[in-house]
Amino acid sequence: MSIQSSPSPQPALRLAPWAAMFAATLLLAACSQENGAPAGMGAAGKPEVGVVTLHRQSVAITAELSGRTAASLVAEVRPQVNGIIQQRLFKEGSEVAAGQPLYLIDPASYKAAYDSAVAAQQKAEAAVPTAQAKFDRYAGLLKQNVVSKQDYDDAAATLAQAQADVASAKASAETARISLDRTSITAPIAGRIDKSTLTPGALVTANQDTVLTTIRALDPINVDVTQSSTNLLNLRQAISEGRLKFSGPNVSVKLKLENGTIYTQTGKMEFAGANVDQTTGTFALRAEFPNPDRLLLPGMYVRALVEEGVAQNSFLVPQRAVSRNTKGEATAMVINAQGKVETRVLAVRNSVGNNWLVDSGVGDDDRVIVEGMQLVRPGGDATGVEVTIDETTGEVKDRGQGTSAAPAASNAAKPAPAAATGN
């Protein structure tokens, strides 16, 4: 009797789970096609990227230079006569006016010297009338040949001596008065006064090395900064070539404080050095700022924002859109009018906030890709979604509607970014 063997059911049982998984995958794909395109893809299956539309504009070029504040006037107070300090007449750290008394040195000896000099002057002045009368009398007698010429000459010499004694006595009295006045030490300038280095009872000498105190004028206040000679040459070359419009001789200056805030007052450039430091390759600049609230104090670290000029017909390209190729050239990806992705080589000048100032490589109404660059390749299709860049952080903050065609006329008329100043 022959026994026929039936096929084993085990292979079919093994394929059953795989078939179920394959069917589930097909079902999910079908649902996905019904509900819309996957994330990162446009309605037509094109990659969706964030873009910013560029427009020609005039951009203010600002140099950020580090430096420190300095008092506009500094006066070191020293005694001009010898003596004992009797009184200190000011409050340390206060504002003083020019001519305000600061210290009093014991004036007793200087008062006595002045009185003596005044008395000597009066004595000399008393001798003049007698000498004058004798001279006048001898002049008349000489005409009558009653006195000799020698007697007349002696009378004239006596009068001249008396008059010279008066002049000498006046000078001595004035010197004594000046010394007496100098026992009261006054403020040579107005400003904020520092602490006193000596106290009442201390002996001081004229023109000593140790200062009694220091006064600093804080309003206005100076800001001393440096700029490299290379930047100066580049700036002048750009102006001469017409790429940069000179902002004029009255250059305004803003100030960024150490904590990052912008000082409310606007300063002006007062001084530019006439030589370049051979060691550092820089030259000095000085700006002057109003300081009515005394917010700025000498020695503070600040950064001066100096407007150097205006770059006309330039573009601001967000820094997040720019990268470097293997040659080190700055490049950006742009969606052209046909919706194709292009890579452009940019001529970058310098940074303006979170943007690059670009002279060439892009044109009006070009849509530069700022988000999703990893989703596209040059020559491929892409859907551009207009986005807004946060000027503070440089990040994308708002997204608009996607368009794969050229930007609409309303987009072309959008105003320039706040970082630039148009003409």
pLDDT single digits (tens) 170-188 = 999 999 999 999 999 999 9
CA–CA distances in Å: residue 126 to residues 120, 159, 251, 382: 10, 12, 66, 111
Does residue 83 contact residue 104 with C-beta atoms inside 8 Å? no
Does residue 174 contact residue 111 with C-beta atoms inside 8 Å? no
Domain residue ranges in the chain: 48-60+313-412, 63-71+228-311, 107-181
pLDDT band at 394 (very low <50, low <70, confident <90, very high): confident
pLDDT at 11: 45
Q: 321 is written with which tokens?
A: 């859109």
pLDDT at 278: 80
Does position 137 have pLDDT exceeding 60, yes or no? yes
Range with lowest mean pLDDT among 202-206, 374-378, 419-423: 419-423
234 Ramachandran zone, left/alpha/beta (phi>0; psi -120 to 50): alpha
Question: CA-to-CA distance for 317 and 320, rounded, in angstroms?
Answer: 9
Phi, then psi, of 98 in degrees rounded to 5: -60, 130
Range with lowest mean pLDDT among 54-63, 69-78, 199-208: 54-63
Instruction: Tell me the range of 5-9, 69-73, 240-244 where mean pLDDT is highest.
Output: 69-73
pLDDT band at 32 (very low <50, low <70, confident <90, very high): very low
CATH number of 48-60+313-412, picked from 2.40.420.20, 1.20.120.1750, 2.160.10.10, 3.40.50.2300: 2.40.420.20
pLDDT band at 6 (very low <50, low <70, confident <90, very high): very low
User: For residue 370, which of 358, 355, 392 has the smallest C-alpha distance?
Assistant: 355
Residue 53 neighbours by CB under 8 Å, 6+ apart? 365, 366, 367, 386, 407, 411, 412, 414
Range with lowest mean pLDDT among 77-81, 179-183, 328-332, 356-360: 356-360
Equal fold, 48-60+313-412 vs 107-181: no
- What number is the average pLDDT over the span 399-416? 44
Range with lowest mean pLDDT among 106-110, 122-126, 250-254: 250-254
Q: Between residues 74 and 59, which one has the greater pLDDT?
A: 74
**Structural domain 63-71+228-311, CATH architecture:** Beta Barrel (2.40)
pLDDT band at 129 (very low <50, low <70, confident <90, very high): very high
Amino acid identity of residue 169, one-letter, is: A
Angle between helices 149-181 and 108-143 (to 10 degrees): 160
pLDDT at 247: 57
Residue 339 neighbours by CB under 8 Å, 6+ apart? 46, 381, 382, 383, 404, 405
pLDDT band at 75 (very low <50, low <70, confident <90, very high): very high
Interval 269-306: pLDDT, tens: 887 777 887 888 888 888 999 999 999 999 999 999 88
Amino acid identity of residue 408, one-letter, is: A
pLDDT band at 239 (very low <50, low <70, confident <90, very high): low
Q: Which long-range contacts (CB under 8 A, 24 or more apart) does 136-143 make?
A: none
Interval 88-119: pLDDT, tens: 999 999 999 999 999 999 999 999 999 999 99
Q: Between residues 5 and 257, which one has the greater pLDDT?
A: 257
Most distant CA pair in the chain: distance in Å? 198
pLDDT at 405: 41
pLDDT band at 342 (very low <50, low <70, confident <90, very high): very high
**Would you state the torsion angle of the CA atoms of residues 263, 269, 271, 273, taken in this order, to the nearest 10 degrees?**
90
CATH level 3 topology of 107-181:
Helix Hairpins (1.10.287)
